[in-house]
């Protein structure tokens, strides 16, 4: 397996609290085969998981209190965009984490524009400074080059603080309240007792898709999709 495959398997193991042996992982070629492998290892139920239900009720109780939306408008199928609009989303997202008592919580990502600004600042500004020092101040190319790398590293570190307010995008694959409930159970089982969570087929598939989207960046795939040929995982 390549590094991408190893990282994907590790992410799936961590999310579901299971272990996929190396020999088995090497024989998994499609998304459907991975789905079946996970289902064989988690505790399955024919009805909706009690822990998932409790996660939904925990989220609903805190969302209704925090955002003041009506009870009827908050269902498992409610779009997260409708619950937490982009305005002040980062602050409200972290506040919701605190209110539900989650130790681990899905991280928001940069919007496309913020990502472009960050990359541009990291690449263009140091290059401009190096050009200015060489062409205008008469510094040697070698000296300017020596300063270029630490300058870019420093700018990358500082830029992270400036772009944090622009981290407003929900994680890949997390679009509805049910997706957040699944993630809450998987990442914070201590909130719902010591027993391992039970899962339905739908819950396993939804959470698995979320992990695959986060790890690979792929947004469209089916159970027949191949990890290497279709999703580009080495």
| pLDDT value of position 115 | 63
Pairing of strands 198-199, 167-169: unpaired
pLDDT at 92 over 90: yes
3-state secondary structure of 48: coil
pLDDT at 64 over 70: yes
Please answer whether residues 184 and 58 qualify as being in contact, where contact means their C-beta atoms are separated by less than 8 angstroms. yes
The tens digit of pLDDT for each residue in 7-62 reads 999 999 988 889 999 999 999 999 999 999 999 998 876 655 677 888 999 999 99
For the four alpha carbons of 90, 94, 100 and 102, in that order, the dihedral sign comes to: positive
Mean predicted lDDT score pLDDT of the chain: 84
Please answer whether residues 227 and 30 qualify as being in contact, where contact means their C-beta atoms are separated by less than 8 angstroms. yes
Interior/surface letters 71-102, b for 16+ CB within 10 angstroms, e for the rest: eeebebebebeebbeeeebeebbeebbeebeb
Q: How far is CA 145 from the centre of its chain?
A: 36
pTM as predicted: 0.65
Split at pLDDT 50, 70, 90, the class of 145 is low
3-state secondary structure of 208: helix
């Amino acid at each position: 397996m390549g590094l991408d495959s190893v990282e994907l398997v590790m992410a799936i193991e961590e999310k579901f609290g299971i272990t996929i042996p190396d020999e088995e992982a090497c024989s998994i070629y499609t998304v459907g085969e991975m789905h079946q492998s996970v289902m064989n290892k988690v505790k399955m139920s024919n009805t909706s998981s009690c822990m998932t239900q409790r996660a939904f009720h925990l989220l609903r109780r805190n969302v209704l209190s925090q955002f003041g939306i009506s009870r009827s408008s908050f269902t498992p199928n409610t779009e997260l965009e409708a619950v937490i609009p982009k305005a002040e989303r980062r602050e409200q997202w972290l506040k919701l984490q605190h209110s539900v008592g989650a130790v681990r919580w899905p991280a928001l990502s940069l919007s496309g524009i913020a990502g472009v600004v960050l990359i541009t600042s990291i690449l263009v500004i140091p290059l401009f400074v190096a050009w200015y020092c060489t062409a205008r101040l008469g510094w040697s190319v070698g000296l300017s080059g020596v300063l270029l790398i630490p300058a870019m590293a420093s700018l990358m570190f500082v830029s992270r603080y400036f772009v944090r307010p622009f981290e407003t995008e929900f994680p890949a694959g997390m679009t509805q309240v049910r997706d957040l409930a699944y993630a809450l159970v998987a990442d914070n089982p201590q909130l719902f007792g010591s027993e391992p969570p039970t899962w339905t087929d739908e819950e396993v598939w939804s959470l698995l898709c979320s992990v695959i989207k986060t790890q690979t960046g792929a947004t469209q795939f089916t159970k027949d999709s191949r990890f290497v040929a279709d999703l580009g995982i080495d």
